[in-house]
C-alpha cells in the first residue's frame, strides 16, 4: 500500500502556500495531511482515501502502543468446565498487574506454549469476560495450559480493518457521489450542508 501511495501522492501539491515545499514521499504527504486535518482543512474527494489510511495507521500505532507492555510471563491458568465449541481458562487479575485496567471483554489474547521439542507454539483467543477477581479467556483449541510461557493481550481491530478495507475498495466516483454529494433526494425539509 505504501508504494502505491508513494507513486500516487509523490510530488503532490499540499494546498499550502507557494513557499512550502512539495512532498517527495508518502511519509511527508501523510504528515502534511495530518497538519491539514489539525488546521481544520476540509475533507475532499482527493484526500479522502489518504486521510482514511492515515487514520487507520494512527489508530493501529496508538492501540499497539497501549498494549505493548500488556503481557504475563509464565501465567497460572485454570481450566474451566467444558464450553460448547471451545475452551475457557481463567487467570487471576493479580497476575495481570498494571495491565488490569486495559484487559476488558473482547480484547485479543495470544498464548505462547513451550512444546516438548523445544519449539514454541502460539494460539489466539479472546477475553470472554472479566469479573471482580478473574479474567476469563475463550480459546477455540484446547492446549497444555500448564506449559504457557507467555500470555499477551492485544486489541481486536478486525471490525475497524474490515470497514477500512470496504471503504478502500470504493471507486472514486462512488466516494464523490455518496460522501461528497452536491444534492440529495428524499425529505426536502432536511437541510443539506457541506
pLDDT top residue among 104 and 57 = 104
- The Cα–Cα gap between 104 and 129 comes to 7
pLDDT higher than threshold 50 for residue 29: yes
Which residues does 99 contact at the CB level (< 8 Å), separation at least 6? Answer: 69, 70, 71, 72, 153
- The Cα–Cα gap between 61 and 34 comes to 15
- The Cα–Cα gap between 163 and 95 comes to 35
Task: Fold for 69-154, please state it.
Answer: Elongation Factor Tu (Ef-tu); domain 3 (2.40.30)
Q: What is the pLDDT of residues 108-165, one digit of tens each?
A: 999 999 998 989 999 999 999 999 999 999 999 999 999 999 999 988 777 677 777 7
Local confidence band at 18 (pLDDT 50, 70, 90 cut-offs) = very low
User: What is the reported pLDDT for 43?
Assistant: 79
Q: What is the pLDDT of residues 46-82, one digit of tens each?
A: 888 878 778 778 777 887 788 888 999 999 999 998 7
Which residue's C-alpha cell is 521439542?
Answer: 117
The answer to whether 95 and 136 are in contact (CB under 8 A) is no
User: What is the reported pLDDT for 171?
Assistant: 81
pLDDT higher than threshold 60 for residue 17: no
What is this structure's pTM? 0.59
User: What is the reported pLDDT for 153?
Assistant: 93
State the virtual CA torsion across 39, 176, 1, 20 in degrees, nearest 10: -30
Local confidence band at 188 (pLDDT 50, 70, 90 cut-offs) = low
User: What is the reported pLDDT for 73?
Assistant: 96
Residues of the chain with CATH 2.40.30.270: 69-154
User: What is the reported pLDDT for 184?
Assistant: 63
State the average pLDDT for the chain. Answer: 78
pLDDT higher than threshold 70 for residue 1: no
pLDDT top residue among 32 and 70 = 70
Local confidence band at 22 (pLDDT 50, 70, 90 cut-offs) = very low
User: What is the reported pLDDT for 191?
Assistant: 60
Lowest mean pLDDT among 33-42, 96-105, 122-131: 33-42
- The Cα–Cα gap between 10 and 37 comes to 19
Amino acid at each position: 500500500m505504501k508504494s502505491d501511495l508513494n507513486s500516487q501522492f509523490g510530488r503532490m501539491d499540499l494546498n499550502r502556500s507557494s513557499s512550502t515545499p512539495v512532498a517527495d514521499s508518502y511519509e511527508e504527504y501523510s504528515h502534511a495531511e495530518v497538519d491539514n486535518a489539525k488546521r481544520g482543512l476540509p475533507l475532499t474527494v482527493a484526500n479522502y482515501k489518504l486521510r482514511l489510511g492515515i487514520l487507520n495507521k494512527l489508530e493501529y500505532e496508538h492501540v499497539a502502543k497501549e498494549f505493548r507492555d500488556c503481557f504475563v510471563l509464565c501465567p497460572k491458568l485454570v481450566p474451566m468446565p467444558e464450553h460448547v465449541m471451545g475452551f475457557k481458562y481463567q487467570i487471576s487479575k493479580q497476575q495481570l498487574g498494571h495491565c488490569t485496567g486495559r484487559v476488558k471483554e473482547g480484547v485479543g489474547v495470544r498464548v505462547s506454549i513451550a512444546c516438548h521439542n523445544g519449539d514454541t507454539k502460539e494460539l489466539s483467543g479472546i477475553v470472554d469476560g472479566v469479573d471482580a477477581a478473574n479474567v476469563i479467556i475463550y480459546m477455540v483449541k484446547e492446549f497444555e495450559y500448564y506449559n504457557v510461557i507467555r500470555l499477551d493481550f492485544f486489541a481486536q481491530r478486525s471490525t475497524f480493518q474490515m470497514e477500512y478495507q470496504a471503504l478502500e475498495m470504493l471507486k472514486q466516483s462512488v466516494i464523490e457521489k455518496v460522501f461528497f454529494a452536491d444534492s440529495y433526494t428524499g425529505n426536502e425539509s432536511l437541510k443539506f450542508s457541506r
